[in-house]
Structure 1
Amino acid sequence: MSGPAAHTPLVYAFGGFHPRYYTMRYDTPDATALARRVAGTMPDGEPVHQHAGRGLDHGGGAWVPLMAMYPLAEEGVLVIGSGFMMHGLPFISRAMLEGQVPGWSADFDAWAADALARGMVDELAAFRTRAPGMPYAHPTVDHYIPLFITLGAAAHPDRPVRTTVEGYTIGFSKHSFQTAV
């Protein structure tokens, strides 16, 4: 969990875009009480990684859309899990830049899509030992964890999801889905 305080600074961890994107601001509201509520919903013994000084990462476009979106009416919260279904940046090859999808990427995407379609949250949680394509698909967990935040916000996280985007960019799956809240 990162940046629950008001006016959390943005992380501009990207490059090559129009200068306006490096000057955009998103003045976050104070969400420390909400962060405590979310942490309190975790099962006993499950750690909550907190990185309060991290800042709000663009995360594939997280804070830019927030500037134009509206929160859920019931709670005043909009939950977005943002991150590629794949994030093996250290393993990008010239062939991937030319459009090739490596086997480990396609295999991981197919495994994750199947688990999501069957509502198998426990299977998804065991990705490090059960998923094909590891550790290439996710050498770190930062772009995989939003999956569970999104599923956790769903009314029925164990129900199949609706796929909204499929395909690959730079050989990485950009599989996107929607849950019912």
Structure 2
Amino acid sequence: MTTLNPAVPAGAYDQFLIGAQPLARAQRAWQTGDAALPALYLSHGAPPLFDDGPWLRELFDWAQSMPKPTGILIVSAHWESAPLSLSAPAAHTPLVYDFGGFHRRYYQMRYATPDAGALARRVAAVMPDSEPVHQHPSRGLDHGAWVPLMAMYPLADVPVLQLSMPSQDPARLLAIGERLRGLRAEGVLVIGSGFMVHGLPFLTREMVTRGTVPSWSSDFDAWAADALGRGDVDELAAYQDRAPGMPYAHPTPDHFTPLFVTLGAADRPDAPVRTAIDGYMLGFSKRSFQTLP
């Protein structure tokens, strides 16, 4: 049995919740006077994350290392939309099950978060007139948001909004992140959700059955880790031309570019970051990091 063929669909998540829920209830909430929360970039996985116990615990432990946020604003690879838009803020907004071919249980999972109207107003207030925010009346959270958040905040007790990605231009995404920077000092967790390597068209049987890591994945990951460790935003922005492993590592840009919103939201986009999760899933690097003061 593997994460792609579990004996019990999401059985690892059921076991994870037994230990995680009491700790989540005891987590200290962010309070006025606390330091600003970091901005995060995470490799979000998909339904198989619910069958990967170690990865679930890595995400949860990462969330536990910080105070519980007052709200979460997440930019996912799976919502590319212009103009800049926010998901519906109402409590218990239905989820988007934007994946196919999985067991029916994954389409029955729920993440009933609280009302996020106050967060929506704050996000709209920090954006300039040149980048107004459209409030989508019904759009829910897609799997790039709700899947990892079900591991990080399993009680669904934090208001969550998703912000669309209106462009793949690193400079524009950095500027959007910069406008969101002040929210971190209000206890808002700003997250870019993608995947450090996302070469799905090049997934092979050997990568699935043997856990083989192709050189285009490991080489891209090493390049990204080095650039992030040096705070070299220009190098990262030129990934399509400079990164080894291209275009296999990212045949489309959508899973890499949320990283620029994260860096833009940092106090210093050119400062080194701290890797919170590394390793591989199906041969793809799942490197995830947080910004540093």
Q: Quote the offset at 1:89 in angstroms.
A: 1.2
Q: What's 2:204 paired with?
A: 93
8 Å contact from structure 1 (residues 165, 177) kept in 2 = yes
Distance in 2 (CA, whole Å) between partners of 1:86 and 1:115 is: 15
Q: Which residue among 64, 85, 89 is the counterpart of 1:6?
A: 89
Deviation at 1:113, TM superposition (A): 0.5
Q: Secondary structure at the match of 1:162?
A: strand
- Unpaired segments of 5 or more residues in structure 2? 1-83, 161-182
Q: State the Cα RMSD in Å.
A: 3.3
Tell whether the 8 Å contact from 1:5 to 1:28 is kept in structure 2 after alignment. no
TM superposition score normalised by structure 1: 0.78
- Three-state SS of the structure 2 residue aligned to 1:79 is strand
CA distance in 2, matches of 1:28, 1:70: 6
Does the Cα contact within 8 Å between 1:70 and 1:78 map onto a contact in 2?
no
Which position in structure 2 is the counterpart of 1:109? 221
1:57 and 2:142 correspond: yes
Q: 1:164 to 1:73 in 2, by over 3 A?
A: closer
From the superposition, tell whether residues 133 and 75 of structure 1 become closer, same or farther in structure 2 (CA, over 3 Å).
Answer: same
The residue number in structure 2 matching 1:29 is: 116
The structure with the largest helix share of the pair is: 2
TM-score (norm 2): 0.51
Matched residue, 1:120: 232
Deviations 1:32-75, CA, capped at 9 Å, x for gaps: 4444456539xx8xx89x89576422217344235255897732
- Report deviation, 1:124: 0.8
Contact 1:10/1:26 (<8 A) preserved: no
Unaligned ranges ≥5, structure 1: none
Higher strand proportion, which one? 2
Partner of 1:175: 287
In structure 1, C-alpha distance between the alignment counterparts of 2:252 and 2:122, rounded to whole Å = 26
- Give the corresponding residue for 2:185: 74
